[in-house]
Structure 1
Amino acid sequence: MKLQTVDFHKIKSRAQLATGTPEKLVNTFQIFSGYHSEVRGLEGKRLDESEGLGMKGCSRGPSPLTMGPQDTLPVAAAFTETINAYFKGADPSKCVVKITGEMVLSFPAGITRHFASHPTQPILTFSISNYTRLEQVLPNPQLLCCDSTADGLDIKEFWVNMPNLMSHLKKVAEQKPQATYYNVDMIKYQVSAEGIQSTPLNLAVSWRCDSTNTDLRIDYKYNMEAMAAPVPLYNLHFLVPVDGGMARPQAMIPPATWNPEQQTIQWKIPSLSHRSDNGGVGALLGRFQMENGSCRPSQLAVQFSSEGSTLSGCDIQLVGVGYRLSLVKKRFAAGKYLADN
């Protein structure tokens, strides 16, 4: 599969890019007719700001950087990925998947004072491994450079425009003087997906409806093969509306929450992994008595998140001297994760 690296330096001048705002992904994912979801990380949620990787430009955290001129500067990184998936019945060939992600670097606030007193700094250079899993890469056009002739390699090297980085961090420091960390979006990307094999949670929904009763069955399966390293899925929510008339639940296995006003049923599973019962394979069952006619099969929506791994398997390494990688965060979560009968 041919990889595509977008070189924004050929599109916009540096003067036009002086705002420091990375380009946003405008590609959208049509998971079924009339339904699009914007490419965003974690449904708009960010990493915990208290961890210095909030990706909002600044965050609270430990005390500002104090260091000598010969010390290496600490840099933290975070990979955040979102998986959108649509399942149709029990046919795996009809599963549609799209995975997007972003990589952010986090700098301690004290680095601005260090740059001010040491204006000549080594160029911050890093490499991204497992790069061939990425189908599209959009580097921050103001801050990042790369060798576009090196496409096709499993490791891709990027280097930072240091004057622009210093200018950007200085502006953030002036705007948020109390911040102890500054977070900078560096790369947005799309991950190569192989249908249902790329989904960490496989789904199949079936309905059986008549004029008096409705039976709902949701089969799920934890898929460790979709992850670079198997990690649990947390806070799984399965939400289904029972559509077509007034319904009364007769059985919910395992126990679930029924909302009589909205006519929805919701199951919650705290965590799921290959160490769960039956290796993470299970079923959710619901039976309803219909009072106003037959039920119409509706769509299942699922949410979950995970920490400690990614779906792309990408990682970061610093290249050269002057900097050290103090922390690497990896997370992924469900975006629009849907299933139909």
Structure 2
Amino acid sequence: MNRNSSSEELTKSKLSAPTNEKGNSDFLAWDPLFSSSLESSSSASLASSSSSARPTTPLSVGTIVPPPRPASRPKLSTGKLSGINEIPRPFSPPLTSNSSPPPAAPLARAESISSISSSASLSAANTPTVGVSRGPSPVSLGNQDTLPVAVALTESVNAYFKGADPTKCIVKITGDMTVSFPSGIIKVFTSNPSPAVLCFRVKNTSKLEQILPNAQLVYSDQSQSDSSSKDFWMNMQAITVYLKKLSEQNPSASYYNVDVLKYQVSSNGIQSTPLNLATYWKCNASTTDVRVDYKYNPESMNVPSTLSNVQVVVPVDGGVTNMQSLPPAKWNADQMKAYWKISSISEKSENGGSGSLRAKFELSEGPSKPATLAVQFISEGSTLSGADVELVGTGYRLSLLKKRFATGRYMADC
């Protein structure tokens, strides 16, 4: 398998593993955040983009005894907005009334703003999948050949910003590792009573607070003392049975993705967020002014990378009859939300990735009530943790290693 064809294997990996299994809720629960009144406003999320070729992998953490480790719409105005613009900016971005926003990239169906039905909930598990399969990638190999597998490290950054106070920022970063097997590998496994054991090493683990392997499929040695890497190996009998089950459910699939472990990343408040936010509201009987200041934060990433498909969604009640915004935003009257789209934000962006989004709303039933806004973005090619993966031993080759991070629930209040 060449590198181009192997890239198809990871197009449907999700950005966080399921959270309904017992034993994993300890670090995936957002108790400090969603036990508050915000929980009631977080009733919906982005439309799911899960693949039929990838049923949910059973993930549970239990006590196991592993075998020995194998050998090695209103009219928009561009006029000046007044009022809330005079509030000092925490990130000191210059006024942008005479500048144009970066061109917005077209969004895939699963990423469209119409799929966002709640400004306070952008679910990590439902963050849109990047990439579309371009067709089958069959594998037909003998038992002595090196078998190709692909790996994806995907991380979800969840954050809640309160006003312009950085000390009130709550951050939670989780991740998961997915292994993608080409469909042809199942025949190799089933025809060999003792296939080579697939072993892998997770490197650069110093920022990982917890690593939870899939107890049904993956073994690990809990006595490992190296703080910078951890070794794991797969239960080949269990993985063969599981892949056969997936192929029976989806016999035409060209690859099957399997969740092998989850982890939590240590965070340091607002310094761990790729995009810092601060919001301001000024609510009068007939008008509402909203401003969102943002600042790109390369120090939060292992390798600074571009934030793509940035969307900011702001719900406004009070009977909006007209909206003026800089840069231009769109108003969805049915959902009563304004949204901005920015194609990308990075260090190369204007002002180093800092700026402001401003809007003035005219109301017929004011005043409005300040609401929670939601932000979404994705970044390819890097992780926040710096974690890496390599295969250990013989029998397999890593055809592709894909890294990405994206927003889970990324919200801000005034």
In which range does the TM-score fall when normalised by the shorter chain? 0.7 to 0.9
Q: CA deviation at 1:246?
A: 2.5
Listed one character per residue, the Cα deviations across residues 288-341 of structure 1 (whole Å, up to 9, x for unaligned) are 233334332221111111211111211100011111100011122111111011
| Aligned: 1:329 with 2:402 | yes
1:319 aligns with 2:402: no
Note closer, same or farther for the CA distance 1:162–1:39 as it changes in structure 2 (3 Å cut). Answer: farther
Counterpart Cα distance in 2 of 1:287 and 1:188? 43
Find the counterpart in structure 2 of residue 115 from structure 1: 189
Is the counterpart of residue 168 in structure 1 residue 246 in structure 2? no
Q: Residues 171 and 23 of structure 1: is their aligned pair in 2 closer, same or farther, counting only changes over 3 Å?
A: farther
Shift of 1:82: 1.3
TM alignment of 1:90-239, pairs within 5 A: 90-151=164-225, 153-239=227-313
Preserved CA contact (<8 Å) 1:22 1:142: no
Aligned-pair CA distance for 1:170: 2.4
Report the alpha carbon displacement of residue 124 of structure 1 after superposing the two structures with TM. 1.1
Distance 1:25 1:48, change over 3 A: farther
Deviation at 1:203, TM superposition (A): 0.4
- 1:148-175 deviation digits (Å, cap 9, x = unpaired): 1115611000011112222222232233
Describe the shift of the 1:22–1:120 C-alpha distance in structure 2 as closer, same or farther (beyond 3 A): farther
Partner of 2:114 in structure 1?
none
Aligned partner letter, 2:258: V
1-side partners of 2:166 and 2:241: how far apart? 50
How much does 1:176 deviate? Answer: 2.4
- Cα separation, partners in 2 of 1:323 and 1:147, compared to 1, 3 Å: same
Q: Aligned letter for 1:78?
A: A
Give, in whole Å, the separation in 1 of the partners of 2:123 and 2:214. Answer: 16
1:148 is paired with a residue of what secondary structure? coil
Within 5 A, what are the aligned runs for 1:296-311?
296-311=369-384
Which of the residues 341, 345, 359 maps onto 1:268?
341
**Pick from 25, 28, 43: which aligns with 2:126?**
43
**Deviation of 1:145 (Å):** 0.9
Pairwise CA distance, 1:67:
2.7
Partner Cα separation in structure 2 for residue 293 and residue 142 of structure 1: 56
276 and 39 in structure 1: CA distance in 2 versus 1, 3 angstrom threshold? closer
User: 1:283 aligned to 356, 359, 362, which one?
Assistant: 356
* C-alpha distance 189-39 of structure 1, shift in aligned 2 (>3 A): farther
Q: Secondary structure at the match of 1:231?
A: coil
Aligned mate of 1:70, from 136, 140, 144: 144
Residue in 2 aligned with 1:292?
Answer: 365
Alpha-carbon RMSD across the aligned residues, in angstroms, is 2.4
Q: Which amino acid aligns with 2:254?
A: T
Distance of 1:248 and 1:44 partners within structure 2 = 32
Secondary structure of the corresponding residue to residue 379 of structure 2: strand
Q: What's the counterpart of residue 247 of structure 1?
A: 320
User: Hey, what does 2:159 align to over in structure 1?
Assistant: 85
Matched residue of 2:405: which SS?
A: strand
Tell me the distance in 1 between the aligned counterparts of 2:122 and 2:353: 29
> In the alignment, is the contact (CA less than 8 A) between 1:42 and 1:333 conserved in 2?
no
SS across alignment from 1:309: coil
Tell me how far apart the structure 1 counterparts of residues 294 and 253 of structure 2 sit (CA, whole Å). 43
CA distance in 2, matches of 1:236, 1:222: 12
Separation in 2 of the partners of 1:111 and 1:135? 33
> Any gaps of 5 or more consecutive residues in structure 1?
1-20, 52-59
Name the residue aligned to 2:86: none
Give, in angstroms, the shift of residue 125 of structure 1. Answer: 0.8
TM-score (norm 2): 0.70
Q: Alpha-carbon deviations, 1:3-56, whole Å to 9, x = none?
A: xxxxxxxxxxxxxxxxxx9867324113251445899744264564627xxxxx
Match of 1:9 in 2: none
* Separation in 2, partners of 1:22, 1:327: 29
Which one-letter code corresponds to 1:29 in the other structure?
A: W
Q: Secondary structure at the match of 1:131?
A: coil
Task: Report the alpha carbon displacement of residue 122 of structure 1 after superposing the two structures with TM.
Answer: 2.2
Q: How do 1:2-17 and structure 2 match up within 5 A?
A: none
CA shift in 2, pair 1:94/1:151, >3 Å? farther
Q: Tell me: CA distance 1:47–1:149, structure 2 relative to 1, closer, same or farther (3 Å).
A: farther
Q: What SS does the corresponding residue of 1:321 show, helix, strand or coil?
A: coil
Contact kept? 1:85, 1:338, Cα under 8 Å: yes
Superposition deviation, residue 119 in structure 1: 2.7
Percentage of identical aligned residues: 50
1:181-220 deviations in Å (ceiling 9; x for gaps): 1211100121111111111111000112233332211001
Provide the C-alpha distance between the structure 2 equivalents of 1:22 and 1:262, rounded to a whole number of angstroms: 33
Change (3 A) 1:80 1:24: farther
